[in-house]
Structure 1
Amino acid sequence: MENPSILVKYSAPAREPHGERDYSRLTAVSQPALHCDRQDPQFLRGRCLPGCALALTLLAGTAHAACGSAIHPYVVQGPGEASPMEGETVTATGTVTAVTPDLRGFFIQGPTDGDPRTSEALFIFSPERAVEIGRQVAVTGEVKEFHGLTELTAVRRVTDCGPGEMPEPVLLGSPAEPLENMRVRIPESIIVDNYRLFDVGELVVADGTHEWTLEDASNERRLQEIPWGLPQDPTLVANGNRVGELTGVLTWRWNRWVILPDEPLTIEPADWTIQPPENSQLRLVSFNIENLFSGLHGDFSHSRGAGSAAEWARQRQKVASALQALDADLLLLQEMEHDQGSGSEVLAEMAALIASRGGRHYEAIAPSVRPGDDAITNAFLYDPERLQPEGELQRIESDPRPALIQAFTRLDSGATVEVINVHMKSRGHNCDHLCKAERAEEMELIMTWLGAQDEQPFRLLGGDFNTLTGESLWAPLVDAGWQRLDVEAPTYWFRGRAQQLDHIWLHSAPAGISGQVQPGHAEMPPLPYLHPLYDPQSPWGASDHNPVILHW
Structure 2
Amino acid sequence: MRTSSRNNRRWQKPALAFLVLVASVALVVLLRQGGLAPQNRLSLPEPDRNTHGDVTLMADTVRIHDIQGAAHRSPLEGAAVSNVEGIVTAVVKDGNSVTGFYMQDTQPDSDPRTSEGIFVYEPNVQVNEGDRVKVSGTVKEYVSRNRQATDLTLTEIDASAISVTENGQPLPAPLVLGEGAYRYPSTVIDNDRFARFDPEEDGIDFWESVEGMLVQVKNPRVVGESKRFTDPPSVEFVIIDDQANPGKVRTPSGGIIIAEDNYNPERITVANKLTGEAPIAKVGDKLAEPVVGVIDYSIANYKLYNTKPLQLIDGGYRPFETTIEPAADQLTIASYNIENFSRVSDLEKVKRISASLVHNLKKPDIVGVIEMQDNDGPADTGVTDARLSAQVLIDEVSRQGGPAYRYVDIAPVNNNDGGQKGGNIRVGFLYNPERVRLADRPAGNANTAVHVVTQQGVAHLSHNPGRIDPGNAAFEKSRKPLAAEFLFRGKQVIVIANHFNSKGGDSGLFGSQQPPVLTSEAQRVKIAQEVNGFVREIHAADPDANVVVLGDLNDFSFSKPILTLKEEVLVNMVEQLPAREQYTYVYDGNSQALDHILVSRHLADNAKVDIVNINSEFTEEHGRASDHDPVLVKIDLPH
Q: Shift of residue 141 of structure 1?
A: 3.7
Q: Report 1:104-503 matches (<5 A).
A: 104-116=99-111, 119-133=115-129, 135-139=130-134, 141-142=136-137, 144-147=139-142, 148-151=154-157, 153-159=159-165, 161-172=166-177, 173=182, 174=199, 175-176=206-207, 179-188=210-219, 191=222, 197-199=228-230, 200=232, 201=234, 202-206=236-240, 209-217=265-273, 229-231=277-279, 233=280, 236-238=281-283, 245-252=290-297, 257-265=302-310, 266=312, 269=315, 271-274=317-320, 276-277=322-323, 280-281=326-327, 283-294=332-343, 309=344, 311-313=345-347, 315-326=349-360, 327-330=362-365, 331-338=367-374, 344-356=387-399, 358-367=400-409, 370=411, 374=417, 375-384=424-433, 387-389=435-437, 391-392=439-440, 394-398=464-468, 399=470, 400-409=479-488, 414=489, 416=491, 418-428=493-503, 433-452=522-541, 455-456=544-545, 458-470=546-558, 471=560, 474=563, 479-480=568-569, 484=573, 486-487=576-577, 488=579, 489-494=582-587, 497-503=590-596
Distance of aligned partners of 1:433 and 1:70 in 2 relative to their CA distance in 1, 3 Å threshold? farther
Q: Shift of residue 316 of structure 1?
A: 3.0
Residue pair 2:370, 2:499 contacting (<8 A) in 1 also:
no
User: Quick check: 1:515 aligned with 2:585?
Assistant: no
1:217 aligned counterpart, secondary structure = coil
1:154 aligned counterpart, secondary structure = strand
Distance of aligned partners of 1:396 and 1:499 in 2 relative to their CA distance in 1, 3 Å threshold? farther
Q: Render the CA deviation track for 1:451-495: whole Å, top value 9, x for unaligned.
A: 335845x54333333443233655675634756352351123445
Distance of aligned partners of 1:192 and 1:228 in 2 relative to their CA distance in 1, 3 Å threshold? farther
Q: Shift of residue 237 of structure 1?
A: 4.2
Q: Shift of residue 437 of structure 1?
A: 1.5
Distance of aligned partners of 1:432 and 1:250 in 2 relative to their CA distance in 1, 3 Å threshold? closer
Residue pair 2:64, 2:85 contacting (<8 A) in 1 also:
no
Aligned match of 2:37: none
Residue pair 1:424, 1:442 contacting (<8 A) in 2 also:
no
% identity of equivalent residues = 17
Backbone CA RMSD of aligned residues: 4.1
The equivalent position to 2:627 in structure 1, one of 527, 532, 544, is 544
Hey, what's the Cα distance between the residues in 2 that align with 1:90 and 1:344? 69
Q: Render the CA deviation track for 1:163-203: whole Å, top value 9, x for unaligned.
A: 32232211234345554432111234555566964244344
Q: Shift of residue 287 of structure 1?
A: 0.7
Aligned match of 1:98: 90
Hey, what's the Cα distance between the residues in 1 that align with 2:623 and 2:89? 41
Q: Render the CA deviation track for 1:229-286: whole Å, top value 9, x for unaligned.
A: 444x4xx245x65666321122455676432111333465472444544765364321
Note the residue ranges of structure 1 that are not aligned, 5 or more in a row.
Answer: 1-67, 219-226, 295-308, 526-533
Hey, what's the Cα distance between the residues in 2 that align with 1:328 and 1:446? 27
Q: Shift of residue 334 of structure 1?
A: 2.0
Hey, what's the Cα distance between the residues in 2 that align with 1:119 and 1:390? 64
Residue pair 1:70, 1:93 contacting (<8 A) in 2 also:
no
Distance of aligned partners of 1:278 and 1:546 in 2 relative to their CA distance in 1, 3 Å threshold? closer
Distance of aligned partners of 1:321 and 1:515 in 2 relative to their CA distance in 1, 3 Å threshold? same
Distance of aligned partners of 1:335 and 1:278 in 2 relative to their CA distance in 1, 3 Å threshold? closer
Distance of aligned partners of 1:158 and 1:127 in 2 relative to their CA distance in 1, 3 Å threshold? farther
**Structure index of larger Rg:** 1
Residue pair 1:249, 1:262 contacting (<8 A) in 2 also:
yes
Paired AA for residue 93 in structure 2: P
Hey, what's the Cα distance between the residues in 2 that align with 1:137 and 1:70? 19
Task: Report the TM-score, using the length of structure 2 for normalisation.
Answer: 0.58
Q: Render the CA deviation track for 1:357-408: whole Å, top value 9, x for unaligned.
A: x2313221314x64776433333333455x1425336234313424232324
Q: Shift of residue 420 of structure 1?
A: 0.2
Residue pair 1:70, 1:91 contacting (<8 A) in 2 also:
no
2:80 aligned counterpart, secondary structure = coil
Task: Report the TM-score, using the length of structure 1 for normalisation.
Answer: 0.66
Hey, what's the Cα distance between the residues in 2 that align with 1:127 and 1:151? 12
Q: Render the CA deviation track for 1:132-162: whole Å, top value 9, x for unaligned.
A: 43x4434454363353524371235324x34
Distance of aligned partners of 1:71 and 1:257 in 2 relative to their CA distance in 1, 3 Å threshold? farther
Hey, what's the Cα distance between the residues in 1 that align with 2:304 and 2:56? 27
**Aligned residue-pair number:** 436
